[in-house]
């Protein structure tokens, strides 16, 4: 059995500083970065990052997003499609898509705020 020098708690603290998930702006940035972060988990076996992404997925699930909000987040933030493409795919104008994204990231940030108030952390894992 090998010994690892990996410090998961230090990495978790660094992620918490980098992504202040109690704000909609940080949630939006984390969602935009999620594919790159997932690739880092696979490449490096970064357990703290894996926990961070699991928490993000759970927060999204608990946020109570509407189908339109979820669709806008996935297409525009996660898949990083241009707004014109998202508009064409969804049949919704750019203003409505922007409103859906704003509502969604606010709801997700509220989940993190609740976690923080309950456990003083902001992350579940």
The model's pTM is 0.85
Number of domains in the chain: 1
- Residues 53, 38 contacting (CB under 8 angstroms): yes
The band of 27, judged by pLDDT with boundaries at 50, 70 and 90, is very high
Whole-number Å distance between alpha carbons of 30 and 87: 22
User: Does residue 90 have a pLDDT over 70?
Assistant: yes
Domain annotation covers residue 66: yes
Q: What is the CA radius of gyration of the chain?
A: 16
pLDDT (average), residues 70-88? 93
DSSP conformation letters of 38-104: HHHHHHH--HHHHHHHHHHHHHHHHTT--HHHHHHIIIIIIS---HHHHHHHHT--HHHHHHHHHHH
Residue span of the structural domain in which 110 resides: 21-117
Domain annotation covers residue 98: yes
pLDDT at position 11 is 82
pLDDT at position 55 is 94
pLDDT at position 42 is 87
* Residues 6+ away with beta carbon under 8 Å from 66: 100, 103
pLDDT (average), residues 85-97? 94
pLDDT (average), residues 14-39? 92
């Amino acid at each position: 059995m090998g010994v690892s020098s990996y410090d998961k708690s230090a990495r978790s603290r660094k992620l918490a500083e980098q992504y202040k998930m109690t704000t909609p702006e940080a949630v939006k940035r984390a969602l935009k970065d999620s594919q790159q972060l997932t690739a880092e988990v696979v490449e490096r076996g970064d357990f703290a990052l894996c926990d961070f992404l699991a928490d993000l997925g759970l927060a999204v699930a608990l946020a109570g997003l509407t189908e339109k909000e979820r669709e806008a987040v996935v297409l525009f933030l996660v898949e990083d499609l241009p707004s014109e493409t998202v508009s064409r795919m969804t049949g919704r104008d750019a203003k409505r898509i922007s409103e859906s994204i704003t509502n969604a990231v606010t709801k997700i940030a509220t989940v993190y705020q609740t976690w923080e108030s309950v456990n003083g952390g902001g992350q579940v894992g």
